[in-house]
Amino acid sequence: MSEAASAIQAVLGRRKPAQGVAVRDFKQPRRLSEKRLAALRLALENALPALEKRLSDSNGVRVALALGALGEADAEAMLAGATEPLCALRFRCQKALAWCLWEPAAAAGVVETILGAKSGVPAARKLSPTETRIAVLFLGEIVRAVAGVLALACSDFALVQAQTELGSWREVGAEAESYRFEVALEVRLGDQPSTLRLYLPGLASDEPDIRASAPETLPAHLEHVEVELSARLRGCEISLDQLLALEAGDVIPLEARLGDPTTLSIEGLTLAQGRLGRHRGRLAVRIERLSVQPGAAA
């Protein structure tokens, strides 16, 4: 074993590496637990038979549906990855923009089947005005059913076939967020299979809302309970040999300066953002923004 590896193990205080560490891509959003996703899957699957019947009756062709993967996506990445030709239903959901992306070649084939054309090998192409209206009705029925299960209201449906027409998740202003709940739906109409992907905003996290459960006024018996308020300062870098040589009484200079941003936390909760300063000759923090966030300080 190398000297560097031995030093690292000495710092960590163990001889064996940790087991069972899951790989996590932190660029991908994750708000929903496995339990919540399983409950959503069950609710959506239970809604499919009624939706199949409505689509089959309204289009005169047998429609079969199967729920694919459920996930969480970033709208910025999704929009950036969209390539033309497009067949996408753009709509409003809880005031924010949402999308249903349809494979363009399969979409053309499904619309042709609805219009009574003989089945063939469909090709990706731009839909005609009549085909566009049929696609909006077909996709709109699916979107309303899925959104209804999730207790979301949808409106302003429009079929777009160019990337510039997709819009932006930022359109709602300061409250905008790129998080979207992704629902994949496998659709078979006649001999035409296709995959739809819905990207819906407004789905609440299954984490408990700490602010909602907090009392409006502090109970009298808690008024004098003390809690530890911590301010996170900028750290510094030291080598492993310096770390191993530390002794009681050593001084570690920090790189924090007056005016630097800092985070205030209480028991693992981020309480506020502020800046370092001085008050009556002592180091102090000026609070600039209050924002309670569970676990953000850990």
> So what's the pLDDT on residue 292?
64
Residue 298 in this model has a pLDDT that exceeds 50: no
Higher pLDDT pick, 67 / 203: 67
Higher pLDDT pick, 206 / 85: 85
Take residue 276 and report the two structure tokens written for it.
């370092």
Assign domain 210-294 to a CATH class: mainly beta
Chain mean pLDDT for the chain:
83
Per-residue pLDDT band for 94 (boundaries 50, 70, 90) equals confident
Higher pLDDT pick, 138 / 23: 138
Assign domain 34-200 to a CATH class: alpha beta
Residue 80 in this model has a pLDDT that exceeds 50: yes
Q: Which residue has the tokens 């993967």?
A: 69
How confident is the model over 212-225, as pLDDT tens digits? 455 667 777 777 88
**Mean pLDDT of the region 79-99:** 92
Domain ranges of the chain: 34-200, 210-294
Take residue 6 and report the two structure tokens written for it.
């031995």
- Considering only CA atoms, which of 256, 177, 226, 240 is closest in space to residue 5? 240
> So what's the pLDDT on residue 192?
76
How confident is the model over 150-163, as pLDDT tens digits? 999 999 999 999 99
Phi, psi of 16 (to 5 degrees): -115, 145
Higher pLDDT pick, 187 / 19: 187
Type and span of the H or E element at 205: none
> So what's the pLDDT on residue 96?
93
Higher pLDDT pick, 243 / 137: 137
> So what's the pLDDT on residue 168?
93
SS (H, E, C) the chain: CCHHHHHHHHHHCCCCCCCCCCCCCCCCCCCCCHHHHHHHHHHHHHHHHHHHHHHHHHHCCCEEEEEEEEEEEEHHHHHHCCCCCCCEEEEEECCEEEEEEECHHHHHHHHHHHCCCCCCCCCCCCCCHHHHHHHHHHHHHHHHHHHHHCCCCEEEEEEECCHHHCCCHHHHHHHCCCEEEEEEEEEEECCEEEEEEEEECCCCCCCCCHHHHCCCCCCHHHCCCCCCEEEECCCCCCCHHHHHCCCCCCCCCCCCCCCCEEEEEECCEEEEEEEEEEECCEEEEEEEEEEEEECCCC
Cα–Cα distance for residue pair 297/64, rounded to 1 Å: 48
- For 46: left if phi > 0, alpha if psi spans -120 to 50, otherwise beta; the answer is alpha
CA 114 to the chain's CA centroid: 35
Q: What is the pTM of this model?
A: 0.63
How confident is the model over 51-68, as pLDDT tens digits? 999 999 999 889 999 999
